[in-house]
Amino acid sequence: MQKRKLAVLALATAAVTVLTTATSASAETRIITGAYVYFNPATNTFGIGDTVADGRTPYLDVRINGGPQQSIPNHNGNGTWRDWAPNESGIRDGNTLAWRARVSGGAVSGWVYEQA
């Protein structure tokens, strides 16, 4: 019986942790081969970096408030980054975001879920 109570408590704690993580703003970064993408909640700005001189384009894939997926490229070449600011994205405080890093024909990160 005590093992069951501990298991239920552990499961409840994990669920609360996941919900808190999914809804709180943070300075998240995703790094994959050829790219990095970060979100700065203080300015509601994304950064998209190209890290490998391989001719592949890094992308930010993002959904705002459950809307259609937008794919934002950085065509500037190896060693460069591009900011995607609120005046371009329309992201406002309180928006729900799902985003990931991707490289054309290459790696893809897992999705990050958070609130602006």
CATH number at residue 9: 2.60.40
Q: Please state the rounded mean pLDDT for residues 62-84.
A: 95
Q: Round to whole Å and give the CA distance between 53 and 39.
A: 23
Question: Are the beta carbons of 64 and 23 closer than 8 angstroms?
Answer: no
Task: Quick: pLDDT tens for 97-112.
Answer: 999 999 999 999 999 9
Q: What angle do CA 16, 20, 26 make, to 5 degrees?
A: 155
Structural domain that includes position 31 = 2-115
Closest among 42, 110, 103 to 74, alpha carbons compared: 103
Tell me, what's the pLDDT at 12?
Answer: 42
Q: Which stretches does DSSP call E strand in 1-116?
A: 29-32, 35-40, 45-50, 58-64, 70-73, 81-84, 96-103, 112-115
For the chain, the domain total comes to: 1
Q: How far apart are CA 44 and CA 96, in angstroms?
A: 11
H-assigned helices in 24-112 = 86-89
Tell me: pLDDT of 17 over 60. no
13 pLDDT exceeds 70?
no
Mean pLDDT of 10-38: 64
Provide the percentage of residues in the chain whose pLDDT is more than 90.
72
Instruction: Please state the pTM of the whole predicted model.
Output: 0.74
Q: Which residue has the higher pLDDT, 21 or 39?
A: 39
| Helix (H) or strand (E) segment spanning residue 22 | helix 2-23
